Amino acid sequence: MKSLVTGAAGFIGSHLVEKLLGAGHDVVGIDCFLDNYPRHFKEHNLANFERHPKFRFVNEDLTKTDLKALLLDVGYVFHLAGQPGVRSSWGSEFSRYTENNLSATQLLLEAAKDLKLEKFVYASTSSVYGDTADLPMREDGLTRPVSPYGATKLAAEHLCHLYSQAYGVPTVALRFFTVYGPRQRPDMFFHIFMRALLAGAAVPLYDDGEQTRDFTFCSDIVDGLYNAAHYPRHGEVFNLGGGSQVSLLTAIAMAEKIAGVKANLQRFDRQRGDVRHTSARLDLARDKLNYHPRVGLEEGLKQEWQWLKSIS
């Protein structure tokens, strides 16, 4: 079977490509190396499989490439590419989010509508829920994003549902909750935090640290993506979380213990678009996707720490 992975050189995309290749898939990966983090990180990710005989890499922008040709003979589409980041999605940057999160998704769905795909799996985010006290967050709960990033990701979810209903595109949308682990993007907290520990530098801490997150290890997310591709129905949405709600200060203490270094925290006010708490209800994903997160936070942080030390 042939699969397309968009954002293949990224954090989650590169892990997914490895899983698909290990399962015997022919994989086409596309990535346009956005400037949201240094290119050498993505090139390092690609180095793990770029010479694999069943892998082909396309260095192009989804909004400017021939998508019909890209989808030729493809059975599974894993659409992970997009413009990430809550805090940077305001103001003049918003056009990048509408282009890379919304327009790119619509163009890919449009190209896919006349094909006989097995599944079109869309990577969404817990940011679609916004800052809610209705915890744990459930798929049929209120979605009211508090950032432009979350708004574009939710709009793309709606597009997936529309193309599923109107054209039978077999879409499944997955809402990721705070993914971490080896190859994590350098703009994400644990990457920033651990690199600062290695360098003896100060670490920015926004809000009071008592905010909580449902941290999810990258291999669990990849398992959820893979299982969703083999789910027999379409047009549905599922949460993928780690299964626990942990405060940022607790996670920081855990990472300090692993590193054997005390962090120099510099406190700042809460940022626009940040939510206070996230927690995923996983009943639907467990029942329908056989999704069972296996990697706890301490073990996952150990793996990320070892990876960061290996590339520093």
Q: Which residues are catalytic?
A: 149
Task: Answer whether 123's CB lies under 8 Å from 77's CB.
Answer: no
Distances (CA, A) of 105 to 63, 99, 132: 9, 9, 27
Residue 312 amino acid letter: S
Task: Answer whether 14's CB lies under 8 Å from 33's CB.
Answer: no
Residue 229 phi, psi dihedral angles, 5° rounding: -65, -25
Q: Which residues contact 207 (CB under 8 A, 6 or more apart)?
A: 248, 269, 270, 271, 274, 276
> ω into residue 136 within 30 of 0, thus cis?
yes
Positive or negative CA dihedral for 124, 252, 297, 306? positive
Which pair of structure tokens corresponds to residue 7? 């954002």
Q: Which residues contact 235 (CB under 8 A, 6 or more apart)?
A: 160, 161, 164, 165, 171, 172
Task: Answer whether 226's CB lies under 8 Å from 23's CB.
Answer: yes
Residue 183 phi, psi dihedral angles, 5° rounding: 75, 10
Q: Give the chain's radius of gyration (CA, Å).
A: 19
Positive or negative CA dihedral for 269, 271, 275, 278? negative
